[in-house]
Chain A
Amino acid sequence: MSEFLMPSLGADMEAGTLVEQLIAAGERVTRGDVIGAVETQKGVIEIEVFETGVLDGWLVDIGEKVPVGTPLAVIRGTGDPDPPEVPEPSPPAPAPPEAPQPTDPPVEPPAPEEVPLTDPTPDPGMPEIPDTPGVEIPPPETRHPRITPAARRFIAEREIDLTKLAIPAGQTITRARLEAMAAGPPEQAATDIRRAIAAAMSRAKREIPHYYLSHTIDLTVADAFVKAANADRPPQSRLLAGAVYARAVARALEKFPEFNGHFTAERFQPSDAVHLGFAINLRGGGLVAPALFDVAAGDLDTLMQALRDLVMRVRAGRFRARELSDATITLSSLGERGVDQLHGIIYPPQVAIVGVGTPRRRPWVREGEITPSLIAELTLAADHRVSDGHRGALFLNQIDTYLQKPEAL
């Protein structure tokens, strides 16, 4: 028997709001299953269990905001004895076993009159999770809005980012309301993400003694490699240059482990695998750098699919918990419409960030000839507590070397 706690999804997170319970009491869970979702300043983050067993019950209601470390659910491991009464997984009412007296009338939060509480298209397969009677309901200004099942489906179908809709706390989100608001301004999300970035970047500037390096590289070969690979491919299996950069960085880190890991408790802990945070710009403001896991493993196509999946989910406002906490280095690629170079700020507790500026056609001397070439600025910001500029320079040169032989990546 173990408690599943509200995870810490980054150094700047103090509390989170449980917004989804995807597994009901009594259902089996396997390590790695997504069992629910938590809303943080960075958006809705899916949470995974770390053990296999049976979900004994939820300890926190949907809509409750609780501090990091608060038990959210109880998981009964496969080796644990059965409780006296095992709830059947089939009934659609996921009330926790400790929920009191069904005779008590459910406590409904106050809702404004103009908001219809009824679901216009009820679906018996997706019952709304009732508020648990007897559980303390936070004051309206801190309550997360309730979401009707139809609204949930609408959110999933349209990939709506709830954090981008300014919905007053304590109100009920219905499909009709969402349809009306779908084009609304993304004020709240922009404010929250700005606050999250401010906290992390202030800490970085306060605690990390950055040093910066820049190296001009020729991407002609890498660009030709991507074009050749894509020539006969349908769009859904095409490569992007970003995946090639990610792999080159990961391979180079094999020889330069001092740029890959976390600096915590006054010491550096290198990571065996490269979990590369990929900086993704968010429409409506802000950016996030969730992790692509074990970027040195598998082939380039696998990496590209992982990148694609990650970007799609992030744009829809969906992250997984590990993606926000486990990145061991960050890559920021400015793409084709950006500027020449960036001087990154390290995302704590990481110790390095690699930047790739916008590639441009420029004169370049190759084998004694001036040749029009695709040139970009490769940059590094790294933590001087862990490494020095000399090693940083060798690291950037190693990335360059790998990018000259992309077929070996």
Chain B
Amino acid sequence: MTPEDVDPVLSEHLHRIAPEIDLAEIDRSADLREECDIDSMDFLTLVTALSERFGIDMPEADYDEMRSYNALAAYIAGKVD
């Protein structure tokens, strides 16, 4: 799977958590939680939804690899065959 394949699903789940954020406007290489004003509970909700949706393990030890929108999309793409 490529990051482009992940994009619509990631956008959908982010929109549920941060409906007022225009994802076209955010800096996709910057800190996702700052760009979308997401707190630790929101981020946990996002990770829970994405790991269930893609059927992948997203351990907390890997959170550093999910810091930006692009990094998170690439991380998921790399985990899904």
Residue numbers of A with Cβ under 8 A of B are 159, 182-183, 186, 227, 230-231, 234-236, 238, 240-242, 281, 283-284, 307-308, 311-312, 335-337
Interface segment, B4-12, B32-40, B71-79? B32-40
Q: Min CB distance, A127 to chain B, in Å?
A: 30
Partner of A335, one of B20, B40, B45: B40
Q: Are A241 and B40 also in contact (CB < 8 A) when A234-B51, A337-B34 are? A: yes
Q: Min CB distance, A29 to chain B, in Å?
A: 32
**Interface of chain B residues 19 through 74 with chain A (CB within 8 A):** 19-20, 33-34, 37, 39-41, 44-45, 47-48, 51-52, 57-61
Cβ-defined contact, B40 with A235, below 8 A: no
Cβ-defined contact, B51 with A337, below 8 A: no
Cβ-defined contact, A240 with B40, below 8 A: yes
Cβ-defined contact, A242 with B19, below 8 A: no
**Chain B contact surface mostly:** helix
Q: Please indicate the chain A residues that have their CB under 8 angstroms from the CB of B41 in the complex.
A: 240, 242, 307-308, 311
Cβ-defined contact, B60 with A227, below 8 A: yes
Q: Min CB distance, B44 to chain A, in Å?
A: 6
Cβ-defined contact, A186 with B20, below 8 A: yes
**Chain A contact surface mostly:** loop
A231-B60, A235-B44 known; 10 new pairs, CB 8 Å cut-off, are A182-B19, A227-B61, A240-B40, A240-B41, A242-B40, A307-B41, A312-B45, A335-B39, A336-B40, A337-B33
Residue of A nearest to B51 (CB): A235
User: How big is the B interface, by class?
Assistant: 20 to 34
Residue numbers of B with Cβ under 8 A of A are 16, 18-20, 33-34, 37, 39-41, 44-45, 47-48, 51-52, 57-61
Q: Please indicate the chain B residues that have their CB under 8 angstroms from the CB of A231 in the complex.
A: 59-61
Between-chain CB contacts (< 8 Å), 11 pairs? A230-B60, A234-B48, A235-B47, A235-B58, A240-B41, A240-B44, A242-B40, A308-B44, A311-B41, A335-B40, A337-B33
Q: Please indicate the chain A residues that have their CB under 8 angstroms from the CB of B18 in the complex.
A: 283
Cβ-defined contact, A235 with B48, below 8 A: yes
Q: Min CB distance, A155 to chain B, in Å?
A: 14
Docked pose: A236 CA to B58 CA in angstroms: 11
Cβ-defined contact, A238 with B60, below 8 A: yes
Docked pose: A182 CA to B51 CA in angstroms: 26
Docked pose: A159 CA to B48 CA in angstroms: 17
Cβ-defined contact, B19 with A283, below 8 A: yes
Residue of B nearest to A338 (CB): B39
Cβ-defined contact, B44 with A283, below 8 A: no
Most buried by B among A227, A235, A241, A311: A235
Cβ-defined contact, A238 with B44, below 8 A: yes
Cβ-defined contact, A283 with B37, below 8 A: yes
Docked pose: A167 CA to B39 CA in angstroms: 29
Docked pose: A235 CA to B33 CA in angstroms: 17
Docked pose: A281 CA to B59 CA in angstroms: 26
Q: Please indicate the chain B residues that have their CB under 8 angstroms from the CB of A284 in the complex.
A: 20
Docked pose: A131 CA to B57 CA in angstroms: 51
Q: Min CB distance, A286 to chain B, in Å?
A: 14
Q: Please indicate the chain B residues that have their CB under 8 angstroms from the CB of A238 in the complex.
A: 44, 60
Kindly list the 9 A-B residue pairs having the minimum CB-CB distance in the complex, ordered from nearest.
A235-B48, A230-B60, A235-B47, A311-B41, A236-B48, A335-B39, A235-B51, A240-B40, A335-B40
